[in-house]
């Protein structure tokens, strides 16, 4: 993701302030205390709440809202999506008009396993990603409830609804 964002940085227009590998659109609002590490691109009309932590390799499309105290790492968040306060989005791609309520996370690593390899379930088949860090692919218009957890390798189709406090572990039936 880092290399992709570095390439995209080369093409940002004059509507962006670029400093130290971070491009922020002039219409974006970044509240005090937010930390944005390179490489990162913050699109038009984005809002980043106080004390949010944007780690390297992040692309926020236009009109994305990142709440207070969120951490976003090596991820793409598409237009109109909202990540409420105190969330973690790591190594993920979040579609357009997705809403994450407070405290929900995309887990990107299996701490509890000796085999850290992450696979995804696609059409009922377990497919190896070759990664040990991979969060989720979340389809457009999806809703993730407060304090929900998307386990590593989660694929949510367009318009998915994840209930509050729900754990999505698509690999559980396939795990040893």
- pLDDT by residue (tens digit) across 115-167? 999 999 888 888 999 999 999 999 999 999 999 999 999 999 999 999 999 99
Cα separation, 54 vs 81, in Å, equals 16
Helices and strands: H and E segment counts in the chain: 1, 24
Q: What is the CATH number of the domain that holds 62?
A: 2.160.10.10
Give the residue among 50, 67, 44, 51 at the shortest CA–CA distance from 59.
44
Report the SS3 class of residue 173: helix
Closest CA to 139 of 154, 108, 124, 160: 160
Tens of pLDDT, residues 69-104: 999 999 999 999 999 999 999 999 999 999 999 999
Strand partners, 166: none
Q: Report how far residue 19's alpha carbon sits from residue 44's, in angstroms, rounded to the nearest whole number.
A: 16
- The residue range of the domain holding 166 is 2-174
Residues serving a catalytic function are 85
Q: Which helix (H) or strand (E) holds 127?
A: strand 125-131
CA distance 121 to 54: 28
Question: Do 41 and 59 form a contact (C-beta atoms < 8 A)?
Answer: yes
Q: How many domains does the chain have?
A: 1
Residue 77 CB partners (closer than 8 Å, separation 6+): 58, 59, 60, 61, 64, 66, 83, 89, 94, 98
Give the model confidence (pLDDT) of 20-64 as tens digits: 999 999 999 999 999 999 999 999 999 999 999 999 999 999 999
- Quote the pTM value: 0.95
């Amino acid at each position: 993701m880092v290399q992709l964002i570095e390439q995209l940085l080369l093409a940002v227009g004059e509507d962006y302030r670029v400093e130290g590998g971070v491009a922020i659109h002039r219409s974006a609002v970044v509240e005090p205390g937010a930390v944005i590490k390179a490489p990162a691109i913050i699109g038009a009309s984005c809002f980043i709440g106080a004390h949010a932590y944007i780690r390297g390799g992040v692309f926020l499309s236009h009109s994305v809202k990142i709440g207070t105290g969120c951490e976003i790492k090596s991820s793409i968040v598409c237009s109109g999506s909202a990540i409420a306060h105190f969330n973690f989005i790591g190594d993920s791609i979040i579609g357009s008009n997705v809403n994450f309520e407070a405290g929900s996370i995309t887990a990107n690593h299996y701490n509890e396993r000796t085999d850290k390899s992450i696979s995804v379930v696609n059409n009922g088949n377990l497919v190896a990603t070759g990664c040990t860090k991979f969060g989720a692919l979340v389809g457009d218009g999806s809703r993730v409830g407060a304090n929900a957890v998307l386990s590593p390798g989660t694929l949510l189709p367009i318009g998915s609804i994840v209930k509050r406090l729900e754990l999505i572990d698509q690999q559980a039936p396939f795990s040893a």
